[in-house]
Amino acid sequence: MYCPVCFQNTLKIRSNGVVKLVFNGKSRNTSLFTYNLQKETHEQLLAKLREKIVDWMSFYSEFANKTPIKNFEAYSADFICTNSCKIDMVSTKVSVVNLIYSAQEVTTLLKEEGRKFNIDIEVRFDN
């Protein structure tokens, strides 16, 4: 991935950090979880993602006018540039889709849980 400061392909995700989720531009203060790529298996990381998707959907399913979820973001600010750049991670949010999770896994998970909560999923990830 490209570093926003030096523009080299030197941006790497930290082995542990926080992933935040945003649904149609909205989020709950519970829509985040920690990850540790060295200690957790992919299945454990998927279970955490599912848990937080369920948390948001169970909240959103109470709404009277539910619009389909067209935009889903899972991003982290826990990245480092191997050139030691100082990166403003408040404004730099890097998607972990196609990084920690495949786009296919995320889409499948959203659709599975969306079906349970009667929430339509129209998410498309660009590759």
Q: Which residues bind Zn ion (CB under 5 A)?
A: 3, 5-6, 81, 83, 85
**CB 94 to Zn ion: min, Å:** 13
b or e along 68-97 (b: 16 or more beta carbons within 10 Å of the residue's beta carbon)? ebeebbbbbbbbbbeeeeebeeeeeebbbb
**CB 76 to Zn ion: min, Å:** 17
Q: Which residue number, 83 or 104, has a Cβ lying nearer to Zn ion?
A: 83
Q: Which residue number, 1 or 22, has a Cβ lying nearer to Zn ion?
A: 1
**CB 88 to Zn ion: min, Å:** 12
Q: Which residue number, 21 or 81, has a Cβ lying nearer to Zn ion?
A: 81
